[in-house]
Homo-oligomer: A and B are copies of this chain.
């Protein structure tokens, strides 16, 4: 705990398009941050070279001896092995020993995990789950991800891949997922992609009047549904009622698995606010065993979304041993 106030962590969030990175102190203040494109680098090695060049000025300014380590949130990242494994949205195929590459280049310890796990640790250290030991973060964006804390630690499972709640089945024989080939999974309904599909289905099923009919079909995305719902469009609002029901039913199942104190919803889809949260709460409570009712807080993330990815990744560093 000596010189804790001087200590820094580097947080790196690798997305399919952009990589965000920054220098963060113990209070969660980002003193430097920037971004770079992810997929212009053919190999992970050349990506790490570019990342090092981009971070070097910031590292030199605070002194490498004051940096505890580097936390990385990345798709298909395995905490146990430090590898990124067959990430569908990255150029680097196969098994990439990413944490080792970072440590060799930067001379700093590195911890990696998937982006939703990083977000969950971020919520525990800086966000809505401060002081909690048992909670679940659900990320509702293009896809649906999750990070599960139990007894103060992330649930990694025996292989490091636990916490894929977006792929759990909630409607047997339901909607076919566009990339996994699974039927009726949460992500097929509760992601931004799923919301757009639900809207198109509802438009096709009836002649109900809707502002969404003024959009060309390929312009109907979750933002269009949100905009129309906010203008009072009944069909668009029904899309949120349906989405909230599906998500609420899924959350009930999750609560009966790990009995969390809170479920924190994160990501673009949460912009819908109470339009989503009200049906989520109603259908979660309705499907809970009595012992769990009216006990679980459902709330939105308190982290600034632009910073959350970097904060979450950097938070992995504070959780490192020693």
Q: Which residues of A contact B (CB under 8 A)?
A: 76, 85, 132-135, 148, 150-151, 153, 155-165, 167-172, 180, 182-183, 249, 252-254, 256-261, 287, 289-292, 295
Contact = CB atoms under 8 A, between A and B. Distances in A.
A165 B132 contact: no
14 contacts: A76-B291, A148-B258, A151-B155, A155-B155, A158-B260, A162-B256, A164-B256, A164-B257, A164-B289, A167-B256, A169-B252, A170-B172, A182-B289, A254-B257
A150 B157 contact: yes
B165 A257 contact: yes
Contacts of A254: 257
Contact of A290 (B153, B155, B180, B258): B180
Contacts of A261: 158-159
Q: With a 10 A CB-CB cut-off, give which of A157, A260, A295 has the most chain B CB atoms.
A: A157
A258 B180 contact: no
Given A172-B171, A249-B172, A162 B289 contact: no
A257 B164 CA distance: 6
Contacts of A133: 158
A85 B162 CA distance: 31
B257 A148 contact: yes
A85 B291 CA distance: 9
A249 B174 CA distance: 13
Contacts of A252: 168-169
A289 B151 contact: no
A285 to B, nearest CB: 11
A158 B132 contact: yes
Nearest to A253: B168
A294 to B, nearest CB: 12
Given A155-B155, A253-B253, 14 more contacts: A76-B291, A134-B157, A135-B158, A150-B150, A150-B162, A151-B155, A159-B295, A162-B257, A162-B258, A163-B259, A167-B289, A168-B256, A170-B172, A254-B257
B287 A162 contact: no
A295 B160 CA distance: 13
A257 B257 contact: yes
Given A180-B289, A182-B287, A182-B289, A259 B156 contact: yes
A157 B253 contact: no
Contacts of A257: 148, 155, 162-165, 168, 254, 257-258
Contact of A259 (B132, B159, B260): B159
Contact of A134 (B158, B171, B259): B158
A130 to B, nearest CB: 14
A182 to B, nearest CB: 6
Q: With a 10 A CB-CB cut-off, give which of A76, A167, A183 has the most chain B CB atoms.
A: A167
Contacts of A180: 289-290
A74 to B, nearest CB: 15
B153 A151 contact: yes
